Amino acid sequence: MITAGIDCGSKNTKVCIVKEGVVLSTASVLSGFDQEESAEQALKSALEKAGIKREEIEHITATGAGMEAIKFSHNTITTITADARGTYSIFPSARTIIDIGAEEGLVIKIDDKGKVKDFGINEKCAAGAGAFIEAMSRALEVDIENMGELSLKSAKQIPINAQCTIFAESEVVSLIHQKTLKEDIIRAVHDAIADRNTSMVRQIGIEKDVALIGGVANNIGFVDSMNRNLGFGLLVPKDGVAPEYVSALGAALVAQDKIGGY
Amino acid sequence: MSNAESNKEYWRWTESRYTNPDLNWKDVDIISAGVDVGSVSTQAVIMVDGKIYCYSSMRTGSDSPDSANNAMDWALDGTGLSLDKIQYIVGTGYGRVNVSFAKRAITEIACHARGANFIYGPEIRTVLDMGGQDCKAIRCDQRGKVTAFLMNDKCAAGTGRGMEVFADLLQVHINDVGKMSLEVEEEPEPVSSTCVVFAKSEAVGLLRKGWPKEKVLAAYCSAMAHRVVTLLLRLGIEEKFAITGGIAKNIGVVKRIEDELKLKAPEPSIDPQLAGAIGAALFAKALVEKERKKS
């Protein structure tokens, strides 16, 4: 029994193919203008990786900001449901989930059965999302992939006062002018976005264990800032499924349930 | 597109300086000055007996004290007037504490209300100051004294900086944005994202959909107008109503604010971006008079 989950994010479209509850493959493409086309491409690439044919997929579930555009999916579920399902399958001990994507941040609380109890969402402001780090990496002329590692070299704490991404960019530029070390600025950037997200988590209430998913969880510098801010270590998916695929995995697992469960 | 064109700074608005040819600083009683160091622009205004003698308006650099000095130097340029002849200088704006030659610093809220009173007349009761990195709704009395205010300085939506981002994205010079945004036959739906970063992605999507630049600008100008109108309505509007700050020069935003409020804002006779510095110079004049009374 094979199913696929498609997560149509604002930046990337991710696909996860699952057979009897086990991940066969994952694939990601940039969410272009035509989201259905991007989903089609991501699915094709995941099928190739898994070495299976399109016809073998029995059910497709879509989730994410652009899910309505995926006409070929059998059903859609919210990001919250997908995140809860995906995270619970990886970390059954997780009771709080933090999902930070390119353009939004979510906090979800689940019970010991993986059922959603409460959630909070920021989709209005880039300051708490991956877009913030992306804008700063452009201002700093540092590849986004290198931001995490570089910030770990810093031991200095510099506050970034601006809340807004646009204003913070000017603040970063003036830090560059003041000859502040790049690694110190990058750490300040991670501390700033971590601060915004932890305050959202505190608003909902922290219940351990806490898992961090979404593309931004790949940034080890950001994870470090979050851990320092919260005072304990977050669970971050490492083996098997990367953090940005958890939502797609959740969708694929919900699809498994739809056709009779595994 | 040529390389030179792609490097063009569309956000860069025109810096300016001016001397009133009908005035002479040599035969006057009080020479006062105001310097408004904003987050994006800096203005220095020098007044003789409460009339504008000369001014400069330029971009704030990365260093506030330098920006204040540069603006003052440029304003004085060619007038024969020197800093030591100015009896009182007031600093205002975001960088007001960095005006080394100012005797006093006064908040930009007080200065904008005072400046609007000077530019638009004593019947102004509500001032909307749309600056580079913040937006303020101010209520004032017939002397330009502040009675209440609300401000947004946390978010670039509704500020000049947000408009600069759009000028750059659409490669339309910032001075032309307002006019161009009015060149639409039908008003489009406003851009739905509040955040400038998200609004920018939304605009890219609209362009890809085939929207012409003017339609995208119209959608952004009306979103921006709506955002500041919310701030005004929260404060409560009393007529007459006027707009100051750099965005007051953007006809596309001003027109849409007027339409939403169903109120007309008077046309400025003086560059409305100078309001803060004018207010500061007027406070400086009043402070000279106060000192005289004491002695």
**Residues B18-43 pLDDT 10s:** 999 999 999 899 999 999 999 889 99
pLDDT at position A243 is 97
Measured between beta carbons, the chain A residues lying within 8 angstroms of B197 are 126, 131-132, 135, 165-166
A30 touches chain B (CB under 8 A): no
Q: Which of B154, B155, B197 is facing A135, going by the closest CB pair?
A: B197
A62 & A108 share domain? no
A106 & A80 share domain? no
Quote the distance between the C-alpha of residue B17 and its chain's center: 15
Token pair for residue A139?
């201002």
User: How many CB atoms sit inside 10 A of residue A255's CB?
Assistant: 27
How confident is the model over B87-129, as pLDDT tens digits? 999 999 988 998 999 999 999 999 999 999 999 999 999 999 9
A150 & A205 share domain? yes
For residues A152 and A224, is the Cβ–Cβ distance under 8 A? yes
Q: Which residue segment(s) compose the domain that A114 sits in? A: 94-236
pLDDT at position B82 is 95
A131 & A164 share domain? yes
A38 & A135 share domain? no
User: How many CB atoms sit inside 10 A of residue B293's CB?
Assistant: 7
pLDDT at position B4 is 45
Quote the distance between the C-alpha of residue A124 and its chain's center: 17
How large a percentage of chain A has pLDDT more than 90?
89
Average pLDDT for residues A234-259, to the nearest whole number?
A: 95
A77 & A188 share domain? no
Residue B2 has pLDDT above 80, yes or no: no
pTM for this predicted structure? 0.86
Domain locations in chain B?
3-115+274-294, 123-268
Of 3.40.47.10, 3.30.420.40, 3.40.1190.20, 3.40.50.300, the CATH number of B123-268 is 3.30.420.40
A160 & A190 share domain? yes
Q: Do B205 and A131 touch (CB under 8 A)?
A: no
Helix (H, G, I), strand (E, B), or coil: what is residue B40? Answer: coil
Measured between beta carbons, the chain B residues lying within 8 angstroms of A167 are 133, 156, 161
Q: Do B205 and A33 touch (CB under 8 A)?
A: yes
Average pLDDT for residues A207-227, to the nearest whole number?
A: 97
How confident is the model over B158-208, as pLDDT tens digits? 999 999 999 999 999 999 999 999 999 999 999 999 999 999 999 998 998
Q: Do B205 and A126 touch (CB under 8 A)?
A: no
Nearest CA in chain B to A102: B198
The span from the CA of A135 to the CA of B133, in Å, is: 18
A139 touches chain B (CB under 8 A): no
State the best of A164, A171, A172, A180 to mutate against chain B, taking most chain B CBs within 10 Å.
Answer: A164
The span from the CA of A149 to the CA of A151, in Å, is: 6
Count up the domains in chain A and report the number: 2
A43 & A119 share domain? no
Measured between beta carbons, the chain A residues lying within 8 angstroms of B209 are 33
Q: Do A135 and B39 touch (CB under 8 A)?
A: no
Mean pLDDT (chain B, rounded):
93
Q: At what angle do helices B196-208 and A130-140 cross, to 10 degrees?
A: 90
Amino acid at B88: Y
CATH of the domain at A67: 3.30.420.40
pLDDT at position B1 is 39
What does CATH list as the number for B3-115+274-294? Answer: 3.30.420.40
Q: Do A170 and B39 touch (CB under 8 A)?
A: yes
Q: Do B154 and A164 touch (CB under 8 A)?
A: yes
Q: Do B196 and A124 touch (CB under 8 A)?
A: no
Helix (H, G, I), strand (E, B), or coil: what is residue B183? Answer: coil
The span from the CA of B176 to the CA of B220, in Å, is: 14
Average pLDDT for residues A65-93, to the nearest whole number?
A: 95
A145 & A169 share domain? yes
Give the distance from residue A164's alpha carbon to the nearest chain B alpha carbon, in angstroms: 5
Measured between beta carbons, the chain A residues lying within 8 angstroms of B193 are 124
Measured between beta carbons, the chain A residues lying within 8 angstroms of B62 are 173-174, 177
A137 & A178 share domain? yes
Q: Which of B133, B161, B194 is facing A124, going by the closest CB pair?
A: B194
A127 & A176 share domain? yes
A166 touches chain B (CB under 8 A): yes
